[in-house]
A and B are shown apart, each in its own frame.
Chain A
Amino acid sequence: MTAVAENVAAAMHRMRSYDRVLLTIAAVLIGLGILFSMASSPVATARIRIEEAFYFAGRQTAYAALGIVVMLAAAALEPRQIRRFATILAALFLPLCALAAWIGPEVKGAQRWFDFGFFSLQPSEILKPALIVVWAWMLGETMKSPRFPGRLVSLCLLGLAAAALLAQPDIGQSALLALCLGPMLFLSGLALRWLLGGAVLAGFGAWAVYTFYPHVRVRIDAFLNPEGDAAYQVNRALDAIAAGGVFGRGPGEGVIKRSLPDAHADFVFAVAAEEFGLLASLGLVLLFGALAFRGLSRASRLNMPFEQLAAAGLITLLVSQAAIHIAVNLSLLPAKGMTLPFISFGGSSMIGSALALGFCLSLLRNRPGAFLTSDSGRFAS
C-alpha cells in the first residue's frame, strides 16, 4: 500500500513541476476540440452517410482521452529519454511515411495513411515532433562543438522527410517541416543573412518558375489543389466566418458548415467561427498566441541548447501548424489540408500534437538548474 501511495505522491510531485499555464492551455484546447466536434460532426457524418450524427464527436472524445494519456506519458520522460525516444520514433516513422506513399490506400488523391480498419494512421503526424527533437539534438551538438556537422545532418533529414512526404503527395507537411527547421537553424546561431538570403532566393526562384513557365504553373496549381474545388471550399469557409459575425449564429445553428467538405478536419476553424463568432476565432488565435508566448519565454531561459532548441522547435511546430490551418480558413494561403492541433478531428493528429506538447511540458518543467535564474519558482506561477 505504501508503495502505491509513494508512487501517487511522486506522480503528484511531478505534476506540480509542470508549467500550469501550458497545462491549462492544453486542457482548454482539448475541451474546445470536443465542443467544436459537436458542431462539425453531424454535417460530416451526413456528408459521408454515417447514420449516427455524433459519430465524429464520440471518436474525438475518445481521441482526446488517448491524447491526454500520450501527453502525460511523454511529459513523464526526462530530456535525455525524450531524445532517445524521439530518435527511435523518427527512425521508425520516416520509412513509414515513404511506405505509406508506396502501399497506403489512396484517399482523395493522396496516399498518406495506413488503414487498420478501426483506426487509420498518418505517420507524418508522429514524424513531425520526433524529427524536431532529432534536429534539436543535432543542432545542439553543433552549438557545443562547432565541428559537428549538425546542420548538414538536419538539412539532409529534412530532404529525406520532404521527399517521402512529397511522394504521398503532401506539400503542406513538407512546407511545415521546412518552416520549423528555419527558426531552429536561426536559434542555433546561423547568421540571419544566410537564413534570409536562402528564404528570399527560394521564394524568388519559386515565383519565377511559377510565373514564367506556364506548364509548370498548371502543374503547381494542380499540385497545390489535387482535390479540386479548393476555391469552392475556401469561399464557403469565408462565408461561414463572415456569417458568424461577432457573436456567431449560436451552438448548432451553423448553416454554411453543411456545404463545407471536411468540416470536421481541415475547416473546423470556419465551423467554430460560424457558430461562435469572433469569440471562437479570436479565442483560438489568442490561445495559440498564449501557447507561443508562454512556451517561448520559458524556452528562452533554458540553459541546455538541446532543451531550448527542442522546446522552441516544438512550440513553433504547434503554433505554425495552427497558423497555417487558420490562414487557409481565412483564405490567406492556398487550400491545403492542415489540421488544427488538438481541435481538428483525427487520431494521428491528436497523438502527434499530444507528443509535441508532452515533450514541451517535460522540457519546460521546473527543475533545479534547468533555467537561467536559480530562482526557478519565479516561473511556476
Chain B
Amino acid sequence: MTVFSADVARFDVETPAPARDRIRLLALAVFALLLLLAGRAVQLAFSGDPLAGPRAAQLHGLPRGDIVDRHGVLLATTVRAYALTAEPHRVANPEQTADRLIAAFPTLDRTTLVRRLSDRSRRLVYLQRGLDEEQRARAQALTLVGVGSVAEHRRSYPQGALAAHALGFTDIDLNPLAGVERGLDEEIRSAGREGRTLRLSLDVRVQYALEAELDAAARAANASGAAAIILDGRSGETLALASWPAFDPNLAGQAPDAARRDRVAGDVHELGSTLKPFTVAMALEEGRARPAEVFDLSQPLLLGDTRIEDQERIVGLVGLRELLTRSSNIGAARLALRLGSERQRAYLERLGLTQASGLELGRDQAPLAPPVRGERDVAGLGIGYGLAATPASLAGAYTVFVNGGARVTPTLQLRDASAVERTPVFSEPVARQVLSYMRAVVTQGTGRAADVPGLAVAGKTGTAEKLADDASYDEQRNFSSFAGVFPANDPRYVIVVALDDTRAGDRGGVVAAPVAGRVLRRIAPMLGLAVEPAAARR
C-alpha cells in the first residue's frame, strides 16, 4: 500500500504523533465551516422580521381592512367563510335533504330549509352563511346532490367583547352597521383594497381596565346603563371608550338592543353638575366673578315659580372653590345669571356642547339644546339642566383644562401632533384657576372617591335627576357622573364616567367617582404615570 508516507517509520513514542500539521488542516476546515454558519446567521439576523410584512400582503384586495389598536393589537379582521347553498332544481327530495343537513347542523330550522330547498323559482338559495372551513368540510362530506358552498368573507373580532361599541359590527354581507365600522367605512374599505390596516387611537390595555371597572360598578349600582371614555386631552385621541352592558360583536345579531347601544357618543343626557366648572370659568373669564369673591349661598334662589336650592344648605360666606367642592346649585345659577344668555350660549358653542362630539362612530349624537327662554333656563344651564349632551361631548369640553383653555375635538384615530386643532375658549389663567378648584373637589369635596394618591386627579361629580315620562324630574332616578382631568400638576388626560338610572342615594360622588379612581389606579402605569402604592389596611 502506497498510502503510507515515509514518516511513519520515524514515529516512536518519544517523538510526537505525526498528525500535528494535519490536525491544523482539520482545524482550518472546521473553522471555515463554522465561519460559514456564523455568516449565514448574521445574514438572517439582518434580513428583517418576517412577521412585519407578509400578512399585509396576504390581505391585499379584501373587502374590509383590519382594524388594530394604537399598538397594533388586532381588533377586527376579515376571514374566509363559506355559505351553504343549494340549487333547488337539482334537489330531488327536499325533506330528506333537510333531515340529513339537520343531522350535521342541528341549529338549522327544518321548515325554513324545506321551504328554501323546494323553491324552484330560484337557481340558487342560501341555506346558511358564515360557515368555517371545518363546517364546510362537514357539509361536503354529506355528499348531497344540489347542495354546495360559496366562498365569502366574514368579519371577525378576535378580542370578543373588548371595545365592542367602539368597533361596531357589520351585517353578514359586511355592510357596516355601527361603531367605527360605520363611522370610518370608507377608510376601512380602502385599507382592505390596499392591504393596509386601520390604526385606532384605542389602547386595549386601558380599554380592558375601563370596561372591567365599569362593568363591576354598573352591576353593583344596579344601573340600567353606563358609559365611560378616556381621552388624551392634548391630542384628543380616545384611549378607551366603554359602554355597559356590553356585547360580543361576533354575535351582534343575538345581542339585545340595550347591549348594542353605544352610550358614549350615541346617548344624550342632561349632564348636571359636571357643567358647573364651565359656569365658574365663564364668570371668571368675563370678569363677572373674582377668585377672591365670597358668596352667601344660604338662601334658595327663586326664579318665577322655580326654586333652586342646594342638596345641603351652605351656611356662611364661601368662595368659588367651595361653591364647586360643595356643588352649589344656588351659586352656579347666580353666576350663570350674571353672564346672561348670549354669552353663555357662545361659550357652550365653543366648548362643543351644542354639537356632536366628532367621534368617528356610526352614531354621533348631537346634543339637545333647546332655545333658552328667560332667566330660569339660563340658571338651569348653569347647573347642567336644559342641555342634553353625550359623555363624549362632555369629555371633549373638558379638554380645555388640559390645553390651557383651548378645546380639542375627540377622535378615535391617531392624530399627528401638528394636526391638532385647538379652539380657544378660556384664557390660560382661568383654566388653571378652575382646575385648582376641581382638584379641591377631589381632595376635599364630593369627588374624594376619585382620588388616587400620587396622581393628583381633578374633577367634578354630577348627579342629574332623570326626566320622568310626565316631563318632570324624577328624584328616584339619577344620572350619576364624574368628569375629571389628570394629573392636575401637568394635565394631560380626561376621563368621563357616567352611570344611568342609579338609585336616589347614588350620587355621582358615590357611584361614578370611585369607578374613575379604580380605573386610574389601574391605568396610570400604562400611561407612564406614577401612583403611590395603596395604603395597607389597618
A residues at B contact (CB < 8 Å): 143-144, 146, 183, 186-191, 194, 238-239, 241-246, 255-256, 273, 277-278, 281-282, 285-286, 288-289, 292-293, 296-297, 299-305, 308-309, 312, 316, 319-320, 323, 326-327, 330, 332, 372
> Least Cβ distance of B31 to chain A in Å?
6
> Is A281 a contact of B34 with CB atoms below 8 Å?
no
Are B46 and A245 in touch, CB under 8 angstroms? yes
A273–B37 Cα distance when bound, in Å, is 13
A286 → chain B, closest Cβ, in Å? 8
Find the B residue at minimum CB distance from A145.
B8
In the complex, chain B residues 1-25 whose Cβ is within 8 Å of any chain A Cβ: 1-5, 7-8, 11, 13-20, 22-25
Decide if B292 is an interface residue (CB 8 Å cutoff).
no
Pick from B11, B34, B40, B50: contact of A144, CB under 8 Å: B11
Within 8 Å CB of A312, what residues of B? Answer: 19, 23, 26
Is B535 in the interface zone, CB < 8 Å from A? no
Kindly identify which residue among B8, B16, B24, B38 contacts A189, using a CB–CB cutoff of 8 Å. B8
A contact residues around B33 at 8 Å (CB) = 323
- The answer to whether B4 and A332 touch across the interface, beta carbons within 8 angstroms, is no
Contacts A300-B20, A303-B16 given; indicate if A285 touches B49 (C-beta within 8 A). no
Q: Contacting A186 at CB < 8 Å: which of B7, B16, B26?
A: B26
Minimum CB distance partner of B26 in chain A: A183
Whether the Cβ atoms of A245 and B27 lie closer than 8 Å is no
Given contacts A292-B34, A296-B27, contact A281 B48 (CB under 8 A): no
B432 → chain A, closest Cβ, in Å?
43
B19 touches A242 (CB 8 A): no
The winner among B3, B23, B42 for most chain A CB atoms within 10 A is B23
Q: Is B26 in contact with A372, judged by CB distance below 8 angstroms?
A: no
Interface SS, A side: helix
Write out the residue numbers on chain A whose beta carbons fall within 8 Å of the beta carbon of B49: 242-243, 245
CB-nearest residue of chain A relative to B20?
A: A300
Q: Which chain B residues numbered 221 to 261 have a C-beta less than 8 Å away from chain A? A: none
CB <8 Å contact, A330 and B41: yes
Q: B534 near A: Cβ within 8 Å? A: no
Residue of B nearest to A140 (CB): B17
Quick one: closest B residue to A144, CB to CB? B11
Q: A189 touching B5 by the CB < 8 A rule?
A: yes
Instruction: Tell me whether B419 is interfacial, beta carbon within 8 Å.
Output: no
Residues of A within 8 A of B14 (CB): 303
Which residues of chain A are near B15, meaning CB under 8 Å?
303
With contacts A242-B44, A242-B48 taken as known, whether A300 is within 8 angstroms of B23 at the C-beta atoms is: yes
Given contacts A241-B44, A301-B20, A309-B19, contact A296 B51 (CB under 8 A): no
In the complex, are the beta carbons of A330 and B17 less than 8 A apart? no
Number of CB contacts from chain A to chain B under 8 A: 140
List residues of chain B with CB within 8 A of the CB of A296: 23-24, 26-27, 30
Distance in angstroms between the alpha carbons of A289 and B23 in the assembled complex: 15
Instruction: Report if B45 contacts A (CB, 8 A).
Output: yes
Closest to A194 in B: B3
B51 contacts A303, C-beta separation under 8 Å = no
In angstroms, how far is the closest chain A Cβ from the Cβ of B16?
Answer: 5
User: What separation, in Å, do the CA atoms of A295 and B40 have in the docked complex?
Assistant: 25
Alpha-carbon separation in the docked complex, A332 to B37 (Å): 8
Q: How far is the CA of A14 from the CA of B513 in the complex (A)?
A: 73
B31/A292 in contact, CB under 8 A: yes
Q: Known interface pairs A143-B17, A245-B49. Does A299 touch B37 (Cβ–Cβ under 8 Å)?
A: no
Query: Which one, A146, A305, A330, contacts B44 given CB within 8 A?
Result: A330
The reply to whether A281 and B30 contact each other, CB–CB distance below 8 Å, is: no
- Take A143-B11, A292-B31 as given contacts and tell me if A191 and B26 are in contact as well, using a CB distance cutoff of 8 Å: no
**For A372, what are the chain B residues with a Cβ–Cβ distance below 8 Å?**
16, 20
User: Contact: B22 with A285, CB < 8 Å?
Assistant: no
Return B8 CB to nearest CB of chain A, in Å: 6
Tell me, rounded to whole Å, the shortest Cβ–Cβ distance linking A210 to chain B: 23
Extra 6 A-B pairs, beta carbons < 8 Å, given A285-B34, A303-B13? A191-B3, A238-B44, A242-B45, A256-B50, A292-B27, A372-B20
Evaluate contact between B19 and A246: CB separation under 8 angstroms: no
A242 contacts B34, CB within 8 Å? no
B58 at the A interface (CB under 8 A): no
The yes or no answer to B47 lying at the interface (CB within 8 A) is yes
Cα A300 to Cα B49 in complex, Å, equals 43
Contact indicator B30/A187 (Cβ below 8 Å): no
In contact, B27 and A293 (Cβ under 8 angstroms): yes
* 9 closest residue pairs by CB, A with B: A281-B41, A300-B23, A187-B19, A239-B50, A296-B27, A308-B17, A241-B44, A330-B40, A372-B16
Q: Is A255 in contact with B51, judged by CB distance below 8 angstroms?
A: yes
List A contacts of B29 (CB < 8 A). 183
B519 → chain A, closest Cβ, in Å? 28
Q: Which of B29-73 contact A (CB under 8 A)?
A: 29-31, 33-34, 36-38, 40-42, 44-51
| CB neighbours of A319 from chain B (8 A) | 30, 34
Q: Indicate if the CB atoms of A190 and B40 lie closer than 8 Å.
A: no
**From A236, which residue of chain B is reached at the shortest CB distance?**
B50
Contacting pair B26 A187 (CB below 8 A): yes
Alpha-carbon gap, A242 to B5, bound state (A): 49
Q: Which of A187, A281, A285 contacts B45 (CB 8 A)?
A: A281
Are A300 and B19 in contact, CB atoms less than 8 angstroms apart?
yes
Q: Is the CB of B17 within 8 A of A278?
A: no
Contacts of A183 in B (CB 8 A): 26, 29
Residue of B nearest to A245 (CB): B45
B51: which A residues are within 8 A, CB to CB? 239, 243, 255-256
Closest to A279 in B: B45
Most chain-A Cβ atoms within 10 A of its Cβ — which of B16, B18, B31? B16
Our pick among A191, A305, A320 for the contact of B5 (Cβ within 8 Å) is A191
**Chain B residues with CB under 8 A of A189:** 3-5, 7-8, 18-19, 22
CA distance A190 to B25 in the complex (A): 14
Cα of A22 to Cα of B264 in the assembled complex, Å? 68
Q: Which of B11, B25, B37, B45 contacts A305 (CB 8 A)?
A: B11
Q: Which residues of B contact A238 (CB under 8 A)?
A: 44, 50
Complex Cα spacing A84 to B479, Å? 91
What residues of chain B lie closer than 8 Å to A330, measured between beta carbons?
37, 40-41, 44
The smallest beta-carbon distance between A375 and chain B, in angstroms, is: 14
A–B pairs, 5, beta carbons within 8 Å: A292-B27, A296-B24, A300-B24, A308-B17, A332-B40
Which B residue sits closest to A139, measured CB to CB?
A: B19
Q: Which of B5, B38, B46 has the most chain A CB atoms closer than 10 A to its own CB?
A: B38
Which residues does chain B contribute within 8 Å of A297, judged by CB atoms? Answer: 27
Other-chain residue from B1, B18, B23, B24 in contact with A143 (beta carbon distance below 8 A): B18
Q: B292-311 CB contact bits vs A (8 Å, 1 = yes)?
A: 00000000000000000000
**A243 surroundings in chain B (CB, below 8 A):** 49-51
A146 contacts which of B4, B31, B36, B37 (Cβ < 8 Å)?
Answer: B4
Q: Which residues of A contact B16 (CB under 8 A)?
A: 301-303, 372
**Distance of A367 Cα from B24 Cα, bound (Å):** 23
Chain A CB count within 10 A is highest, among B22, B31, B37, B47, for B37
Partner of B19, one of A273, A289, A308, A323: A308
CA distance A246 to B48 in the complex (A): 10
C-alpha gap A256/B33 in the complex (Å): 27
CB distance from A347 to the nearest CB of B (A): 26
